[in-house]
């Protein structure tokens, strides 16, 4: 009787422990921990690591002199207050701008980072998602910088809305994971899972990085993507219930502006 009771208590404890564990999903900082720090800066990515993000995402553009600078927009107006076109400006000129002050005085002096600077922050066991915002012409420079970094191939993932960028990345660096980004919430009829799978296969993408749109992305949709042998990731989720819906749909990785907070919420 005592043995049966002990076994029952052990099983109950295991069940309770399992229930308390957060879902097994990768948490990715969107442009770093951009809810709390200025997006796409060294401060933001370092904060993402402090918040225990599994990975961090950031955006890159080619400068006039062929360097990769970390910024989301094609111009510097929104995050620096100075309106310059990134592609028409040298890295040296861009580095003179303040990319942190808009988020608060304590971030004053934050520069637009280079790809090299962002990669240098990545701890062992963590990885980065490099979103190429321009075209395939950025892929060779990305490859050069990655080769010069301390990162292993499995620590870097290339993502882009531009299918040609994904194809070029897989051609030059087949050892790097590359995902095609697609918004499922665009106007008009959204693309079906079958259409997205076909295109992903055509460009040799390793998976899809989709907008977290529960009206389209449900378990049936997720099952089709995963059955095709593709990874399934989503962006940008700052709502715990939406995160749970995405996990139920079979998503493996969630990008969020609040990596620490979302992990805590999912563990409850």
Enumerate the domain spans of the chain. Answer: 24-266
Which class is 24-266 in CATH?
Answer: alpha beta
Show the tokens assigned to 265.
């919420």
- Indicate which residue of 25, 27, 29, 30 is catalytic: 30
- The pTM of this model reads 0.92
* Residue 10 pLDDT exceeds 80: no
- Indicate which residue of 46, 64, 72, 199 is catalytic: 72
Identify the pLDDT of residue 240: 98
Identify the pLDDT of residue 135: 98
C-alpha to C-alpha distance for 15 and 7, rounded to whole angstroms: 12
* Residue 58 pLDDT exceeds 90: yes
Identify the pLDDT of residue 21: 56
* Residue 12 pLDDT exceeds 70: no
At 117-171, the pLDDT tens digits run 999 999 999 999 999 999 999 999 999 999 999 999 999 999 999 999 999 999 9
Active site residue 72: yes
At 93-117, the pLDDT tens digits run 999 999 999 999 999 999 999 999 9
Q: Burial letters for 98-108: b for 16+ Cβ neighbours within 10 Å, e otherwise? A: bbbbebeeebe
């Amino acid at each position: 009787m005592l043995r049966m009771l002990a076994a029952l208590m052990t099983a109950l404890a295991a069940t309770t422990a399992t229930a308390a564990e957060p879902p097994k999903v990768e948490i990715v900082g969107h442009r770093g921990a951009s809810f709390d720090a200025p997006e796409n800066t060294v401060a933001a990515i370092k904060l993402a690591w402090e918040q225990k993000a599994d990975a961090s995402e950031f955006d890159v553009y080619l400068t006039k002199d062929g360097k990769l600078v970390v910024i989301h927009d094609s111009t510097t107006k929104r995050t620096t207050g100075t309106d310059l076109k990134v592609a028409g400006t040298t890295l040296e000129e861009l580095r003179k701008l303040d990319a942190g002050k808009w988020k608060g005085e304590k971030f004053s002096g934050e520069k637009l980072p280079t790809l090299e600077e962002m990669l240098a922050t990545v701890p062992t066991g963590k990885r980065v998602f490099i979103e190429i915002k321009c075209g395939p012409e950025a892929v060779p420079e990305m490859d050069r910088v990655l080769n010069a970094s301390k990162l292993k191939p499995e620590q870097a993932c290339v993502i882009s809305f531009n299918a040609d960028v994904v194809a070029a990345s897989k051609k030059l660096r087949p050892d790097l994971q590359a995902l095609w980004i697609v918004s499922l919430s665009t106007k008009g009829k959204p693309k079906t899972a079958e259409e997205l799978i076909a295109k992903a296969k055509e460009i040799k993408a390793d998976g899809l990085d989709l907008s977290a749109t529960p009206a389209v992305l449900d378990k049936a949709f997720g099952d089709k993507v995963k059955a095709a042998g593709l990874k399934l990731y989503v962006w940008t989720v700052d709502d715990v219930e939406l995160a749970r819906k995405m996990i139920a749909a079979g998503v493996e990785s969630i990008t969020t502006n609040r990596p620490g907070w979302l992990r805590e919420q999912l563990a409850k």
